[in-house]
Amino acid sequence: MAEPVIAYLGLGGNLGDRLAALKEALASLDATPGMRWVSCSSVYETEPWGVIDQPRFLNLVAGFETTLPPDALLSACQSVEQQVGRTQSYRWGPRLIDVDILLYGGEVVSLATPDLQIPHPRLTQRAFVLVPLAEIAPDAIVPPDGVSVRRLLDAVDGKDGVVRSGETPYWSVRYR
């Protein structure tokens, strides 16, 4: 049995019932063998990133204790996206759900596919990920430079566009 690590996943979507999609994805990830949900940020409403002519997103970050290796974790995330109803779109386009691996313990993973790069290659540029990540793991270290999430958040632009949605989702107290 593999030693468990904490993986932080970014979840977001801007189509349909955004909150329901987040809840369904979290429940499905938690039901995945080898994964156990351990923390979850508040829900944030954010401006689109990349392609701006689309609806606003709901985003959150969740921590999972996992024994899955990075490639199996990626497969689980993609499977949950399909289960929730994600369909192919253009890069940075609108979507029902998106599940990204942000951090996997303190590891750097770069396989022969652009789909699996850990830490997430644009993590340091995205306030919509850093704000909720800092809420649940401000002292997490982002390899390879060893900078804390808190310090990355201090340096990123766009924090004003990341607004707590006011939702008090049931999952925020589920494991406390």
Catalytic position from the list 86, 139, 174, 176: 86
Q: How far apart are CA 13 and CA 86, in angstroms?
A: 9
Q: Closest by alpha carbon to 4, among 80, 85, 105, 100? A: 105
- Can you tell me the mean pLDDT for 43-53? 81
Are the beta carbons of 122 and 137 closer than 8 angstroms? no
Q: Report if residue 110 sits inside a domain.
A: yes
Q: Report if residue 11 sits inside a domain.
A: yes
Catalytic position from the list 30, 98, 139, 145: 98
Catalytic position from the list 36, 56, 71, 95: 95
Q: Report if residue 176 sits inside a domain.
A: no
**pLDDT > 90 in the chain, percent:** 51
Burial (CB count within 10 angstroms: exposed 0-12, middle 13-18, buried 19+), residue 125: middle
Which residues lie below 8 Å from residue 26, measured CB to CB, with a gap of 6+? 11, 37, 40, 62, 171
Residue 115 annotated in active site: no
Q: Report if residue 174 sits inside a domain.
A: no
Q: How many structural domains compose the chain? A: 1
Looking at residue 92, which CATH number applies to its domain? 3.30.70.560
pLDDT tens track for 80-111 = 988 886 666 655 557 779 899 999 998 777 76
pLDDT band with cut points at 50, 70 and 90 for residue 119: confident
User: What amino acid is encoded at 57 in this protein?
Assistant: F
pLDDT for residue 141 = 92
Q: Report if residue 163 sits inside a domain.
A: yes
Q: Report if residue 125 sits inside a domain.
A: yes
Q: Which domain holds residue 20?
A: 5-168
